[in-house]
Chains A and B, each alone.
Chain A
Amino acid sequence: MGLENLKTILKNNERSFEIKSPIIGASGTYGYDCEFSDFINLDCFGAISTKGITLEKRLGNEGERIFEVQGGMINRIGLENVGIEAFIKEKLPILKSKNIDFILNIAGSTIEDYEKLAKIADESKIKAIEVNVSCPNVKSGCLEFGLNPDSLEQLTKTIRNNYKGFLIVKLSPNTSDIKLLAKAAESGGADCISAINTLRGLGIKVEFDGTKFSKKSVKGGLSGSCIKPCALYMIEEIRSATNLPIIAMGGISKLSDLFEFMSVGADAFQIGTANFIKPSICTDLAIELSNFIEKNGFKNFEELKNKIKEIK
């Protein structure tokens, strides 16, 4: 069963990225090759953004990596991944065999890392990449690019010069003015903005055993429904700064969330933390959205989106 009315084309000038549905599995929550396929119906599936891939394989952070909070969670995975070479050799064929559209999420510590990753993506004819310039969980590197407009513009330009496909830049919310970052990405040659990455957070649990106190803490990126108001604010800000397509994320788990994000300018969506609660959420939401469009007499997702954007 396909969902014809959900076809989505993200477009900037001559470059575009076409997906079956505007609902995308967010990076870090869908593995490399859609390991969720035991749990979902792939026919209704938009695309996945792969786990963040670096040049070399990484083992990620030591110690506890997950901390649950009210309405969300904090993670400090630290970009554990197989590295680009193993991705191209082992994971890419699986994605192709499953016929899943995907966005390659890339991360690096230096501008040269990103340049090499962009070249490899280009040579491998990968249709879309999402540049992680905003991972809060690694000590050096990507967050620094992500928070300074000048270095972000320079980084985006370097990637643009080495990659001909659809270039998405994923922005950090850990900034005083996200509009400047959106403009910098656009000036550097980005085709699309995705936002928001996780917010910096600190989870603490103090326990008392009757005689002494102990403390557990995890510092990392906060995600889940608790960050939605922040994400909505940021998407509205980004929309006021650029006309590029926006892939919105941050606490999305239901149909009304999609409407809210469309109303501030989103063109597509990523689902992250909600996948951990309900592995079929991306396809469930796609079916629900498709049924809503059909039942209420809209032609397709594009028309629905424009109607919602027009609301004053």
Chain B
Amino acid sequence: MDKIKSDFKGEIINTETIAKDVCKIDILSPLKTAIAGQFISVLCPNTTLRRPFSIANFENQTITILFKLKGEGTSYLKKLKKGDNIDFLAPLGNGFTIENKKSLLVGAGIGIAPMLFLKNTLDKKNIKNYLITGFKSEEEIIKGSDKTIVGGSVLDYLDEIIKSENIEIIYSCGPTPVLKGISNISKKYDIPSQIAMEKVMACSIGVCRGCVIKLSKNNETINASVCKDGPVFKGSEVIWD
């Protein structure tokens, strides 16, 4: 029986440096399905634990991931060349639930990765969308957005866009302060938000409870694992520390 989720072997078919310390790799594998917001968990021979990466695109059996050079896991990935093999678990977690609504997509830094996949998906479905992303400096810009902010915070631009574009739903990925801000803005305008969270993971498939966050559901506080219950959560349900 073919299992949808599995431990895959893939082949690197393209590697590219797309911004300062940011690389893109394309992986050809037998993976059959993946949606924006889901991730893969890569076996890195030089680290104890696997490393999770958001899927930045999935087309023609090819997964694209983007990563920022940060530590030992990403330094392994950076060294991979066309033709090399890679071992990964996929497709992991729950992705974005797409709604036929005017969508605002907000990506901060490398958080742009799942937003690019989501934008691609929305475009294919002819759902009107607007992607805004923010980066610390010019040289760190990853292309593909409708609006790019350098320095400052993407949050400062959202009021205007929500009004002028008649936004009905927000999707976002980025550091916690940005996601918290998105959650507040969606409350202010009473529009739904879906946010992709990040946390250090051990198992990446929901068993170890290492990456839990707290959610408020039906007035009860519950734990949810970022890797299996997430990484995408409703912004209104996340309890911020």
Binding site for B on A (CB under 8 A): 28-31, 35-36, 38-39, 51, 59-60, 64-73, 75, 77, 80, 224-225, 273, 275-280
Contacts and interface: CB of A to CB of B under 8 A. Distances in A.
Given A35-B206, A65-B210, A80-B223, A72 B5 contact: no
B161 interface: no
Nearest to A65: B210
A193 B89 CA distance: 34
Given A75-B210, A276-B208, A68 B7 contact: no
B48 A72 contact: yes
Contacts of B80: none
Interface in B81-104: 89
Nearest to B87: A278
Interface in B8-28: none
Given A59-B223, A66-B208, A75-B210, 10 more contacts: A29-B208, A35-B205, A51-B209, A59-B221, A68-B49, A75-B202, A75-B208, A276-B202, A276-B203, A278-B43
**Overall SS of chain A's interface:** loop
Contacts of B207: 29-31, 35-36, 51, 275
Interface of B: 3-7, 43, 47-50, 89, 200-212, 214, 221, 223
A65 B210 CA distance: 5
A277 B206 contact: no
A71 B204 CA distance: 18
B203 A275 contact: yes
A39 B205 contact: yes
A38 B5 contact: yes
Nearest to B225: A80
A59 B204 CA distance: 19
A28 to B, nearest CB: 7
6 contacts: A29-B203, A36-B207, A39-B89, A68-B49, A77-B209, A276-B204
Nearest to B204: A276
B202 A73 contact: yes
B212 A65 contact: yes
Contact of B49 (A30, A59, A277): A277
B203 A38 contact: no
